[in-house]
Amino acid sequence: MAEQEVNIPVADPNDPYAMPAAMPSSADNQTRSFEVDDFKVPTRKQEDWRYTPLERISEFFDVFEPSGETKVTVSNIDGTPVDASQVVRSVVERGEAPSGTVMKPNDRVSAVEWNSGGKSVVVSVSGELSQPVLVDVEGHGADLDSLHLVLQVADRTHGDIVVRHQGLARLAEGVEIVVGRDAHVSTTFVQEWDRASKHVGNQRIHVGEGSSLRHAVVTLGGDIVRLRMDQDFGGPQSELNMLGIYFAEAGQHLEHRTMVVHNFADCKSRVVYKGALDGKDAHSTWVGNALIQPTAPNTDSYELNRNLVLTPGPVADSEPNLEIENGNIIGAGHASSVGHFDDEELFYLQSRGITESDARKLVVRGFFADLIEQIGVPSIAEHLMNVIDRRLARGESADMQAVLEDK
């Protein structure tokens, strides 16, 4: 049989919209570099920074001498020492593997973090972990500090890692998550900073072939927290499940940006972020990017963001972006919403004798409860529900009055 000639269409650079499928993806165009000067100083005109109050994080735009006020301790979740045969903590030069192996910095602040300070903390886990590992990151002051943390998960590991941020800090943080083959793990990042803390973080995540990663982010504290999380797969039949929970109060800016890249066939991703906002100038931003490359047939992806606005005055930005370069996929969906309380839900609860303020609390609690349960680490889930309950109890007086008066 004669070979058939195959014509591959070529895009016309003068008219890119004539053949959208041949356009280079926007994600491909982004700079990746360890050099700070390869990135311009952020301005609100740059797409990645349009929602961020840049004036509050301008100290993170140039290389600095880290204060070393951030302490990292590693233990089991119940406080007991880790099993040294399964969990190893080490400190390496920042440029020494596995540090610096998961992609390159992708924006100015992550390049600044990389070049501010010389060491990386590596937590390596392997085998069947008998209980979750807790990486405690504690801030001890408002002087500018940097932390580069690498979570290295060996092939065929089963287990959970919790990274908890607390205390007072001004932290540029880089996190690399390297998941080997056929591993099934979860990583949960909890931000319970003091109210004055600032946290500018960049995560680079690699999920190995046949592995699944449940990645959860819970941001409750801090003055400003901005986390950008970029991910790719190491082979087919891998799975990524990203959960996010945030509760922004007056004056807080909590920003989460996820970038899921489907670069292999038969992979599945889910991104579900839910947030509540309470009080004047509470500000949340969620930007969910998903890129399905031509090399990723049978991709199954979905992303969702829901925002519940509890009082007048907050701002919630919610922006899903999908870039689909492969027609042969199972699905690529998204949903996004910003809303107030549902009157019907409140009336139903009130008609059973529950006061309006209690009904509101029940609804907010319910809004988060499903997702918190999915984190899959019971002690952390219980702790987080308690934190949210305390937050709700606290909001009852002045803020609740504001809601009622606004009606």
Partner 1 sequence: MSTLEIKDLYASVETKEGRKQILKGATLTVKSGETHAIMGPNGSGKSTLAYTLAGHPKYFVDSGQALLDGEDILKMTADERAKAGLFLAMQYPVEVPGVSMTNFLRTAKTEVDGKAPAIRTWTKDLQDAMKNLRMDKKFASRSVNEGFSGGEKKRAEVLQLELLKPKFAIMDETDSGLDVDALRIVSEGVNRAKANTGLGIMLITHYTRILKYIKPDIVHVFAGGKFVKTGGPELADELEETGYDQYLPEGATESAMA
Reduced to 3 states (helix: H, G, I; strand: E, B; else coil), residue 47 is helix
Strand partners, 347: none
3-state secondary structure 51-112: CCCHHHCHHHCCCCCCCCCEEEEEEECCCCCCCCCCEEEEEEECCCCCCCCCCCCCCHHHHH
Q: Which of 46, 356, 374, 402 binds partner 1 (CB under 8 A)?
A: 356
Interface segment toward partner 1; rule CB under 8 A; list 129-137, 166-174, 280-288, 354-362? 354-362
Site string for partner 1, 359-398 (x = CB under 8 A): x--xx-xxxxxx----------------------------
Q: Do the Cβ atoms of 104 and 132 come closer than 8 Å?
A: no
294: Cα separation from own chain's centroid: 25
184 is a site residue for partner 1 (CB under 8 A):
no
Which of these, 242, 236, 208, 243, lies nearest to 299 by C-alpha position?
A: 236
Q: How far is the CB of 373 from partner 1 (least distance, A)?
A: 9
CA distances from 319 to 23, 225, 297 (A): 22, 18, 25
Q: How far is the CB of 308 from partner 1 (least distance, A)?
A: 11
354 is a site residue for partner 1 (CB under 8 A):
yes
Q: Do the Cβ atoms of 184 and 209 come closer than 8 Å?
A: no
Site string for partner 1, 310-349 (x = CB under 8 A): ---------------------------------xxx-xxx
247 is a site residue for partner 1 (CB under 8 A):
no
Q: How far is the CB of 216 from partner 1 (least distance, A)?
A: 17
Nearer residue to partner 1 within complex by CB, 83 or 345: 345
Rounded distance between C-alpha atoms, residue 155 and residue 181, angstroms: 5
Interface segment toward partner 1; rule CB under 8 A; list 82-90, 174-182, 293-301, 357-365? 357-365
129: Cα separation from own chain's centroid: 24
Nearer residue to partner 1 within complex by CB, 182 or 356: 356
Interface segment toward partner 1; rule CB under 8 A; list 30-38, 166-174, 175-183, 353-361? 353-361
Nearer residue to partner 1 within complex by CB, 137 or 310: 310
CA distances from 141 to 67, 104, 167, 169 (A): 9, 29, 8, 5
Nearer residue to partner 1 within complex by CB, 95 or 366: 366
Amino acid letter, residue 315: V
Q: How far is the CB of 318 from partner 1 (least distance, A)?
A: 19
Rounded distance between C-alpha atoms, residue 150 and residue 186, angstroms: 14
Interface segment toward partner 1; rule CB under 8 A; list 38-46, 55-63, 151-159, 355-363? 355-363
Nearer residue to partner 1 within complex by CB, 136 or 345: 345
Nearer residue to partner 1 within complex by CB, 64 or 367: 367
**Ordered alpha helix ranges (H), 70-223:** 108-115
Nearer residue to partner 1 within complex by CB, 36 or 375: 375
Q: Do the Cβ atoms of 276 and 245 come closer than 8 Å?
A: no
Rounded distance between C-alpha atoms, residue 259 and residue 264, angstroms: 15
Other residues' Cβ atoms within 10 Å of the Cβ of residue 194: 14
Q: Which of 26, 350, 379, 386 binds partner 1 (CB under 8 A)?
A: 350
Site string for partner 1, 194-233 (x = CB under 8 A): ----------------------------------------
Site size toward partner 1, by CB under 8 A: 23
Which spans of this chain sit near partner 1 (rule: CB under 8 A)?
343-345, 347-356, 358-359, 362-363, 365-370
